[in-house]
């Protein structure tokens, strides 16, 4: 059976100096000159048409050395403008293709062991279909995406996540999902295949990073329409100049008119727009987050309300049992033994800490084994777990859930002394778990958790960005309120169930808000599907991953904050470069308009504030700047404008100052320097 190659340093971000990317990108730049490809971008299509016309004019101008040299240089720089724009897109795509090539190393010609009628049969992995059952043992490569339906195993997922530490995958619960291309390290599991060939997680990941399936986002489409409208307006403006020139007794060559058009239309952002979108997806992938579409990345940048789980996101998530508090009339040893029994099959850190504390207090229920015990797993709906043994039932869980279980209806209440302890634990920031046997409350377990260092500052950053954070927890309202206040979140949802999570998302969306949330279980799938940005954990169930539009390969709930920041960075980058591109036109106007009409209207010489050498050098300098600025901005488009956690108004002022005012001023200096250089070597 084939074994996939190990993946190392998958998170490395290729630079612009990487020859393995630059070489193919240069070749792709020429391939993209195909008019069918350029037609997707109206701005660059106009530039390419202009390059074709000026090239024809150059060919027909032989015999007039001065005109031929000028027209030839204009034609050459127009072609460079198109090529540089193609190069920006090709480099962005090239980085994705480099990652895809690395991901393909995880593929192998695996022969799966398919179960049919209780017997194993060898089948090539590409022949597996949804619903097939396969067996995987130690050393086997998992042939396709699926769900563990039998057994438990240690799995190496480094080929997908880049994380070398193995993870446990087991039947049932929220750790049952496995990914094709990962490797079983121990034990035996039976997997139900959940994806047909070509639709697996790895297939989608490769297609995305290669940009083969990238669709333009709504904002990108809107900006493309705006750029197309601006292009049409400038075409009409430039076309009308010729009749005015003839009327004024002068003549403007087609080369100069095309140069003016190319310099006035927003070629900079037109050339970089696609690269910005691709780079946004790429930056998320560097954070080990797979976006199922560019739309998801963009939506992340527009999020108003992130919903964050308390445990593991806001707190450290390793709640420990510190105390057993018996109810009135209940012996401490009885409470301790029943709490231990109810936790024997609970593999969560909380469950293990309860068993450990009980053993330290002298309980020996674990030594007796699990024979005769029927375990009742925890569920988000019931919010409790426990055991059944014979006619006896033991449960531990949230206070309100235990109260309802004991009473048998929705109006149940706890004994006064237990409710008092529950309230005291909640007010101290702890989590109370109530233990009951045969619908009789035995007492309370005190769980302590710690708010993560620095998380309050992160929430303050989100608040400055205009986001309202909501903490989601299964804890009672008192505990939730204490943790929310300590962590600095804006709001909280206590005693959360899948139903009221979904209700909260719909309520926020009805108010015009975009909502983001994380989840890993089947119970989270409806809410993940409803949220505008649903981040599924890679360690979670297949249902959760299919419902979300992003998958966190590290299964780190805190990643939601970074996802929002990355989405905003993409939007900020697009806005900043659009501002810069449009602002550039001011300097180009002052360069070319005097060059066209100063001879006929001497008063227009006053507009030649840069004191450019001649009409030809002015036009040529503007065209050269227009081409080179795309190259200069490629690193910024790929890296993104530096993100700062500030509000929309300060951000707008900052961008207008740097990219608006800078976009006006910088070209004046650059065009003047180019003019000096080309005149010094007698190119104009």
User: What SS3 state is found at 310?
Assistant: coil
Could you give the CA distance from residue 231 to residue 447 in angstroms, rounded to a whole number? Answer: 64
Q: What number of CA atoms fall less than 13 Å from residue 571's CA on the CB side? A: 23
The strand pair at 111-116 and 167-170 is best described as unpaired
For residue 638, the model assigns a pLDDT of: 84
Could you give the CA distance from residue 341 to residue 632 in angstroms, rounded to a whole number? Answer: 67
290 sits in which H/E element: strand 289-291
Burial class of residue 265, CB neighbours in 10 A (0-12, 13-18, 19+): buried
Residues 6+ apart with CB under 8 A from 443: 324, 325, 326, 327, 330, 335, 418, 421, 434, 435
Compute the average pLDDT of residues 282-291.
Answer: 79
Q: Does the structure show a pLDDT above 50 at 2? A: no
CB neighbour burial string for 647-673, b if at least 16 within 10 angstroms, e if fewer: eeeebeebbeeebbebbbebbbebbbe
Q: How confident is the model at residue 205 (pLDDT cuts 50, 70, 90)?
A: low
Could you give the CA distance from residue 260 to residue 593 in angstroms, rounded to a whole number? Answer: 8
- pLDDT tens for 391-416 read 889 999 989 899 999 988 777 889 99
Q: What number of CA atoms fall less than 13 Å from residue 605's CA on the CB side? A: 7
Q: Does the structure show a pLDDT above 60 at 214? A: no
Residues 114 and 298: beta-carbon distance below 8 Å: no
Which one is predicted more confidently, 316 or 585?
Answer: 585
Could you give the CA distance from residue 154 to residue 246 in angstroms, rounded to a whole number? Answer: 81
Q: Report phi then psi at 500, rounded to 5.
A: -80, -20
Q: What is the DSSP string of 311-374?
A: BTTTB-S--EEEEEEEPTT--HHHHHHHHHHHHTT--SHHHHHHHHHHHHTT--TGGG-STT-E
What residues are paired with 470 via a beta bridge? Answer: 307, 491
Q: Report phi then psi at 153, rounded to 5.
A: -155, 155
- pLDDT tens for 357-375 read 999 998 887 766 777 788 8
Q: Does the structure show a pLDDT above 90 at 335? A: yes
Residues 6+ apart with CB under 8 A from 140: 1, 113, 183, 184
Paired tokens of 380: 């988000």
Averaged pLDDT of the chain: 82
Could you give the CA distance from residue 540 to residue 145 in angstroms, rounded to a whole number? Answer: 13
For residue 212, the model assigns a pLDDT of: 43
For residue 152, the model assigns a pLDDT of: 87
Compute the average pLDDT of residues 561-582.
Answer: 87
Which one is predicted more confidently, 166 or 150?
Answer: 150
For residue 4, the model assigns a pLDDT of: 38
Could you give the CA distance from residue 354 to residue 345 in angstroms, rounded to a whole number? Answer: 11
First vs last C-alpha separation in the chain:
68
Q: What is the DSSP string of 88-108?
A: HHHHHHHHHHHHHHHHHTT--
- pLDDT tens for 451-499 read 887 888 888 888 887 888 898 887 778 888 888 888 888 999 888 888 8
- pLDDT tens for 81-135 read 999 999 888 887 776 666 666 666 655 567 889 998 888 898 888 888 889 999 9
For residue 108, the model assigns a pLDDT of: 57
What residues are paired with 394 via a beta bridge? Answer: 387, 437
**Which position among 145, 282, 309, 675 bears the catalytic label?**
309
For residue 13, the model assigns a pLDDT of: 45
Q: Model-level pTM? A: 0.69
For residue 207, the model assigns a pLDDT of: 67
Residues 6+ apart with CB under 8 A from 318: 349, 449
Residues 6+ apart with CB under 8 A from 652: none
For residue 589, the model assigns a pLDDT of: 76
Active site residue 520: no
CA angle 652, 653, 654 (to 5 degrees): 90
Q: Does the structure show a pLDDT above 80 at 520? A: no
Q: What number of CA atoms fall less than 13 Å from residue 124's CA on the CB side? A: 6
Cα Dmax for the chain: 112
Nearest CA-CA partner of 563 in 298, 381, 323, 319: 298
Compute the average pLDDT of residues 303-310.
Answer: 86
Lowest mean pLDDT among 332-341, 409-418, 620-629: 409-418
Q: Does the structure show a pLDDT above 90 at 203? A: no
């Amino acid at each position: 059976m084939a074994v996939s190659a190990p993946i190392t340093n998958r998170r490395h971000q290729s630079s612009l100096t990487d020859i393995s990317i630059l070489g193919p990108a240069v070749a792709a730049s020429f391939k993209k000159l195909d008019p069918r490809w350029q037609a997707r971008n109206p701005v660059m299509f106009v530039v390419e048409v202009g390059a074709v016309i000026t090239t024809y004019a150059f060919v027909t101008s032989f015999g007039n050395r001065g005109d031929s040299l000028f027209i030839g240089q204009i034609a050459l720089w127009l072609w460079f403008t198109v090529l540089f724009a193609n190069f920006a897109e090709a480099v962005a795509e090239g980085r994705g293709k480099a990652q895809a090539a690395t991901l393909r190393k995880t593929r192998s010609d695996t022969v799966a062991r398919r179960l049919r009628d209780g017997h194993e049969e060898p089948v090539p992995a590409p022949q597996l279909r949804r619903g097939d059952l396969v067996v995987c043992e130690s050393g086997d490569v998992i042939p396709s995406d699926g769900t563990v339906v039998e057994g438990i195993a240690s799995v190496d997922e480094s080929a997908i996540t880049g994380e070398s530490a193995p993870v446990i995958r087991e039947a049932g619960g929220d750790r049952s999902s496995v990914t094709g291309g990962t490797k079983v390290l121990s034990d035996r599991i039976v997997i139900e295949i959940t994806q047909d060939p070509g639709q697996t997680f790895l297939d989608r990941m490769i297609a995305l990073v290669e940009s083969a399936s990238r669709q333009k986002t709504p904002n990108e489409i809107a900006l493309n329409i705006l750029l197309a409208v601006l292009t049409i307006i400038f075409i009409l403006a430039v076309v009308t100049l010729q009749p005015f020139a003839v009327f004024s007794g002068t003549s403007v060559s087609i080369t100069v008119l095309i140069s003016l058009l190319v310099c006035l239309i927003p070629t900079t952002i037109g050339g970089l727009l696609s690269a910005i979108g691709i780079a946004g997806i790429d930056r998320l992938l560097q954070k080990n987050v797979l976006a199922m579409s560019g739309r998801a990345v963009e939506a992340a940048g527009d999020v108003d309300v992130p919903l964050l789980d308390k445990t593991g996101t806001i707190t450290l998530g390793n709640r420990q049992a510190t105390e057993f508090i018996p109810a009135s009339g209940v012996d401490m040893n009885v409470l301790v033994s029943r709490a231990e029994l109810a936790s024997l099959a609970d593999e969560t850190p909380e469950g293990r800490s309860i068993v450990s504390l009980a053993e330290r207090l002298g309980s020996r229920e674990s030594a007796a084994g699990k024979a005769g015990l029927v375990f009742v797993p925890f569920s988000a709906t019931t919010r409790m777990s426990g055991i059944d043994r014979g006619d006896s039932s033991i449960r531990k869980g949230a206070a309100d859930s235990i109260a309802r279980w004991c009473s048998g209806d929705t109006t149940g209440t706890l004994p006064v002394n237990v409710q008092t302890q529950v309230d005291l634990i909640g007010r101290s920031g702890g989590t109370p778990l109530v233990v009951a046997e045969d619908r009789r409350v035995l007492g309370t377990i005190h769980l302590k958790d710690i708010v993560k260092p620095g998380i309050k500052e992160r929430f303050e950053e989100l608040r400055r960005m205009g986001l309202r954070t909501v903490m989601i927890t299964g804890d009672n309202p008192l505990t939730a309120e204490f943790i929310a206040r300590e962590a600095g979140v804006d709001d909280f949802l206590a005693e959360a169930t899948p139903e009221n999570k979904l209700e909260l998302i719909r309520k926020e969306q009805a108010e015009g808000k975009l909502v983001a949330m994380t989840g890993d279980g089947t119970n989270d799938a409806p809410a993940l599907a409803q949220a505008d940005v649903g981040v599924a954990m890679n360690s979670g169930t297949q249902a959760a991953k299919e419902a979300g539009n992003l998958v966190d390969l590290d299964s780190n709930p805190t990643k939601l904050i970074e996802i929002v920041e990355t989405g905003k960075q993409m939007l900020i980058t697009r806005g900043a470069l659009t501002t810069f591109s449009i602002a550039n036109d001011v300097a180009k106007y002052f360069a070319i308009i005097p060059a066209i009409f100063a001879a006929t209207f001497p008063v227009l010489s006053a507009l030649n504030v840069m004191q450019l050498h001649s009409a030809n050098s002015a036009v040529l300098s503007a065209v050269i700047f227009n081409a080179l600025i795309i190259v200069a901005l490629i690193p910024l488009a790929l890296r993104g404008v530096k993100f700062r956690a500030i509000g929309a108004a300060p951000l707008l002022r900052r961008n207008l100052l740097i990219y608006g005012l800078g976009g006006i001023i910088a070209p004046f200096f650059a065009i003047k320097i180019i003019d000096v250089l080309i005149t010094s070597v007698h190119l104009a």
